[in-house]
Structure 1
Amino acid sequence: MKKSKIIMTMMLLISASQLTFSQLKNDFKFGIKGGVNFTNINTNNTSENKSLTGVNFGIFAKLPITSSFAIQPEMYFTTKGSELTYQSVFVDGTAQFDLNYIEVPVLAVFKITNKFNVQLGPYASYLVNSNVKNVSDINFNFEDNIDSGDFTKFDTGVAAGVEFEGKSFSLGVRYNFGLITVGEEKTYFGTNYIFPDGKNSVLNVYLSYSIF
């Protein structure tokens, strides 16, 4: 009798684990995503800074760990930057900084309901190209004095957001806060400056599509 109870219990446990594994397997997702960025460079060394509008697009995978928790790695192209106005004795003028990165976040996804989740995790990014444009150069030509070598190549930070999740399509909002200063230190007129002396800040709205 005891033996049959043990066998029955083992069979129930195996069935339950198979059911759980099957459900987690069905929750796995891989797809594409893209959206709109609203970007800025957080700095206290300017008289004015304006946000820029850009894009992000790439791929993602959702790896379920439990029925309510998953890990979501992504890789995408994203634009960042800002329009900054400087007013000092040495530098007086406005420039637009356009920075383009390849970014890789690894997010913890917490399922709140079947249609809604919260995401949090670190990201790392690499600067693939940059462009500086003079908006007004009263006494300092930004285009002539700043090039791609004056920007930090690697950035890292924290990403947090929410997502409304459908079967194939999902809509999300995410905020990325950079932890690394965007500009490298350089000497101008015998004085050390960093352009831009600030950290990336990005609010993005995206739509994703699960291929499988």
Structure 2
Amino acid sequence: MKNNHILKLAASMLCLLLFTGVAYSQAGFGAKVGYVYSDVKVDVSEFDVDTKGKSDLSLGLFFELPLTQNFIIQPEFTYLGRGYKIVGNALASDGTYNVAYVDVGAMAKLRFGDAIGFYIGAGPYFSYAVSGQFKNDQNEVDIDFDVDNYRRTDFTLGTALGLEFGRRDALRFFVDGRYLIGMNDLDDGDPITFSRHNRAFGVNGGIIIPLGQ
């Protein structure tokens, strides 16, 4: 029920943004696909914990809402995989955490150039873990976010640096690199001094379709 609720909220937000975006003469609708390399920043006072990153994919939809010629607000909805590998420690078995997230938020972008442009951006996101698994050599088990003290929600700060190809009033292609910083501790109620924070680097490519031309 929780998963259905968050997906319905995200779908409602996208519909609202669609009608809002049409009102902008240079607004655009976009789709993206990307590669994500994620890990966690671990702080443990009493144990040595070694983690390694893992690779996954991301899929996203967004709107471009230009406020000025160069300043753009970009609401986004992204489905992506996060997680990490844990190796040789006293807290848990070796294995891999695979967690699927939905990120909903907005990025503020500064864009320069015309036929070939570049942009920088930053913004906040609400991240919701839709599902998760822990996998090792013996088995694979689903994460119960309530029982396993694995926090389901996160607040993420994202930064971006990218290139666009095509005029602003026409179909455009883009590629960008992003760094995502999770602000919330993933451990919800752990009895020892142990904290984990999401970190991820992604490379995305996609298209932007102009609206209201």
Mapped partners of 1:43, 1:53: distance in 2: 18
User: For residue 33 of structure 1, what is the amino acid of its counterpart?
Assistant: K
Residue aligning to 1:43 = 42
Compare CA radii of gyration and give the structure with the larger one: 1
Contact 1:84–1:95 at 8 Å: present in 2 too? Answer: yes
Structure 1 unpaired stretches of 5+: 1-23, 187-191
Contact 2:35–2:58 at 8 Å: present in 1 too? Answer: yes
Q: Which of the two has greater helix per residue?
A: 1
Matched, 1:205 2:207: no
Contact 1:108–1:119 at 8 Å: present in 2 too? Answer: yes
Tell me how far 1:166 sits from its aligned partner. Answer: 1.7
Contact 1:112–1:118 at 8 Å: present in 2 too? Answer: no
Contact 2:50–2:89 at 8 Å: present in 1 too? Answer: no
Residue aligning to 1:129 = 131
Residue aligning to 1:95 = 95
TM-score by length of 1: 0.75
Residue aligning to 2:173 = 169
User: For residue 180 of structure 1, what is the amino acid of its counterpart?
Assistant: N
- The alpha-carbon distance between structure 1 residues 142 and 181, as it changes in their structure 2 partners (threshold 3 A), is farther
- The alpha-carbon distance between structure 1 residues 208 and 142, as it changes in their structure 2 partners (threshold 3 A), is closer
SS in 2 for 1:211: strand
Contact 1:131–1:148 at 8 Å: present in 2 too? Answer: no
**Aligned-pair identity (%):** 24
Contact 1:125–1:156 at 8 Å: present in 2 too? Answer: yes
Matched, 1:148 2:152: no
Question: For each residue in 1:126-169, what CA deviation from the matched residue of structure 2 results, as whole angstroms up to 9, or x when unmatched?
Answer: 11000011258xxxx9959x633232121112100111012221
Structure 2 unpaired stretches of 5+: 1-23, 167-171
- The alpha-carbon distance between structure 1 residues 92 and 62, as it changes in their structure 2 partners (threshold 3 A), is closer
Tell me how far 1:175 sits from its aligned partner. Answer: 0.3
- The alpha-carbon distance between structure 1 residues 69 and 170, as it changes in their structure 2 partners (threshold 3 A), is same
Mapped partners of 2:81, 2:129: distance in 1: 10
Question: For each residue in 1:39-78, what CA deviation from the matched residue of structure 2 results, as whole angstroms up to 9, or x when unmatched?
Answer: 0011033431110000110201010000010100100101
Residue aligning to 2:183 = 179
Contact 2:85–2:97 at 8 Å: present in 1 too? Answer: yes
Tell me how far 1:197 sits from its aligned partner. Answer: 2.8
User: For residue 111 of structure 1, what is the amino acid of its counterpart?
Assistant: R
The counterpart of 1:52, out of the listed 51, 54, 78, is: 54
Q: Superposition RMSD on alpha carbons, in Å?
A: 2.3
Contact 1:171–1:208 at 8 Å: present in 2 too? Answer: yes
